[in-house]
């Protein structure tokens, strides 16, 4: 995290802008280990990632003050205290070994396959594999939808160098930030994920350019200064949140979100009834419809899209928007939605900014349900 990027952010708990409190270790211009303060608290920066979860942030700050950087990183990745430095095996060289294993340049050198093997001791292996193979899933490319809309709009305008701010919520590891930034100059990405390891590994293997990475809770989403964000993408994430409606309320707060911003939410498959530790259950479209119908102020309805058809068409290269719009009667979990107060959806979208090889590599879609979700509402 760079010093100049700090002024872009605010504390999502007190809504006061952040300032740099401490810098314990730098990497060039980036704060590698440090802390930021606001009106209510102080939060650690670990491996360049701002960490906002309470109360762990206090423990992490203590570790950073004692210069125990590896222990702080390890705690963020594993969320377990088994690996703390007062454990016997840690005293006998364990922490030194960990400091070597968790070094970003070492992880980059050994490659993804060995990283999965190595980190599966610290976190569930199936999750790591899922995150690392996102590029094989058609729906992962939907992060390009807001960009495709933006590029269509800018085709008609001549000036396209304006800086844009893009908030990606639930970024995972593979997220195409570099491709987005190559297709449209001057996009500052702010990447939020609840999983520190996702941000940490994404930074190593899919860094993008000057991406701001924040580990925090999506229910406290106003972590960028008001009236700044132009694009919000929420890919395969909404169904993982414990409170989708409060999340939307905070996200679409007109005091915070720019009037001409666009919001794209995707990936809510009804087949994904997996084990409890994934914590994923379907979010029916009616929840979103009801939220927008009860919302105060000027009514602007979201446009619901067929997630499967959209993903497939987007991977092929072109989307005829008319063909992917859902009617109000179709009741399904498999939807995406796009919302903007002032913009309109173009008739056609192109995903050619992703390479053909990348798009052809995406062959998977959610078809393998392992468990049936039962609820009277469905």
**Which spans of this chain sit near Zn ion (rule: CB under 5 A)?**
11, 13-14, 38, 40
- Least distance in angstroms from the C-beta of 107 to Zn ion: 32
- Least distance in angstroms from the C-beta of 42 to Zn ion: 9
Q: Pick between residue 14 and residue 352 the one whose CB is nearest to Zn ion.
A: 14
Q: Pick between residue 70 and residue 222 the one whose CB is nearest to Zn ion.
A: 222
User: Which residue, among 196, 187, 163, has the nearest Cα to 47 in the 3D structure?
Assistant: 196
28 dihedral zone (left: phi>0; alpha: psi -120 to 50; beta): left
Q: What is the DSSP letter of 143?
A: G
State residue 119 phi and psi, 5-degree precision: -80, -10
**CA pseudo-torsion sign 333, 336, 340, 344:** negative
Q: In this chain, which residue has its C-beta nearest to Zn ion?
A: 11
User: Which residue, among 285, 252, 290, has the nearest Cα to 268 in the 3D structure?
Assistant: 285
Q: Pick between residue 114 and residue 253 the one whose CB is nearest to Zn ion.
A: 253
Q: Pick between residue 40 and residue 66 the one whose CB is nearest to Zn ion.
A: 40
Q: Pick between residue 14 and residue 182 the one whose CB is nearest to Zn ion.
A: 14
Contacts of 362 (CB under 8 A, 6+ apart): 135, 136, 137, 138, 140, 141, 315
- Least distance in angstroms from the C-beta of 16 to Zn ion: 6
Sequence-separated contacts (24+) of 321-325 with Cβ below 8 Å: 321/345, 321/346, 321/347, 321/348, 321/349, 322/347
- Least distance in angstroms from the C-beta of 12 to Zn ion: 8
Q: Pick between residue 11 and residue 167 the one whose CB is nearest to Zn ion.
A: 11
- Least distance in angstroms from the C-beta of 8 to Zn ion: 15
Q: Pick between residue 14 and residue 300 the one whose CB is nearest to Zn ion.
A: 14
Q: How far is 367 from 359, CA to CA, in rounded Å?
A: 19
- Least distance in angstroms from the C-beta of 71 to Zn ion: 25
Q: How far is 123 from 117, CA to CA, in rounded Å?
A: 10
Q: How far is 128 from 116, CA to CA, in rounded Å?
A: 6
Pairing of strands 187-193, 164-169: parallel
- Least distance in angstroms from the C-beta of 199 to Zn ion: 20
Q: How far is 134 from 122, CA to CA, in rounded Å?
A: 20
* 144 burial type by CB count under 10 A (0-12 exposed, 13-18 middle, 19+ buried): buried
Q: Pick between residue 17 and residue 343 the one whose CB is nearest to Zn ion.
A: 17
Peptide bond into 234 cis (omega under 30): no
- Least distance in angstroms from the C-beta of 144 to Zn ion: 34
- Least distance in angstroms from the C-beta of 30 to Zn ion: 23
Q: Pick between residue 59 and residue 245 the one whose CB is nearest to Zn ion.
A: 59
């Amino acid at each position: 995290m760079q010093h100049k990027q700090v002024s872009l952010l605010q504390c999502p708990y007190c809504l006061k802008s952040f300032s740099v409190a401490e810098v314990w270790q730098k990497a060039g211009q980036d704060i590698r280990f440090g802390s930021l303060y606001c009106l209510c608290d102080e939060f650690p920066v670990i491996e360049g990632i701002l960490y906002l979860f309470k109360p762990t942030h206090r423990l992490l700050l203590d570790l950073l003050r004692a210069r125990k950087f590896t222990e702080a990183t390890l705690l963020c990745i594993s969320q377990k205290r088994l690996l703390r430095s007062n454990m016997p095996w840690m005293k006998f060289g364990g922490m030194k070994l960990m400091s070597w294993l968790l070094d970003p340049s070492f992880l980059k050198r050994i490659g993804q396959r060995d990283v999965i093997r190595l980190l599966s001791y610290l976190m569930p292996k199936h999750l790591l594999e899922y995150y690392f193979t996102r590029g094989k899933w058609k729906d992962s490319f939907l992060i390009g939808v807001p960009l495709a809309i933006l590029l269509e709009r800018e085709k008609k305008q001549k000036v396209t160098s304006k800086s844009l701010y893009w908030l990606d919520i639930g970024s995972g590891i593979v997220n195409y930030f570099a491709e987005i930034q190559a297709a449209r100059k001057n996009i500052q990405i702010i990447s939020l994920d609840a999983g520190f390891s996702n941000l940490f590994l994404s930074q190593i293997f899919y860094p993008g350019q000057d991406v701001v990475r924040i580990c925090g809770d999506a229910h406290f989403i106003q972590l960028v200064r008001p009236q700044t964000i132009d694009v919000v993408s929420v890919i395969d994430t909404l169904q993982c949140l414990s409170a989708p409606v409060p999340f939307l309320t905070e996200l679409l707060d007109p005091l915070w979100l720019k009037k001409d911003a666009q919001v794209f939410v995707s990936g809510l498959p009804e087949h994904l009834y997996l084990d409890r530790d994934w914590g994923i259950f379907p979010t029916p479209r009616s929840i979103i419809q009801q939220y927008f119908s009860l919302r105060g102020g000027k009514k602007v309805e979201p446009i619901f899209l067929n997630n499967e058809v959209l993903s497939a068409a987007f991977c092929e290269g072109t989307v005829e928007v008319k063909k992917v719009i859902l009617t109000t009667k179709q009741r399904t979990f498999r939807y995406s939605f796009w919302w903007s107060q002032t913009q309109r959806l173009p008739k056609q979208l192109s995903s050619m900014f992703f390479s053909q090889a990348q798009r052809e590599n995406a062959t998977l879609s959610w078809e393998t349900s392992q468990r049936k979700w039962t609820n009277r509402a469905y």
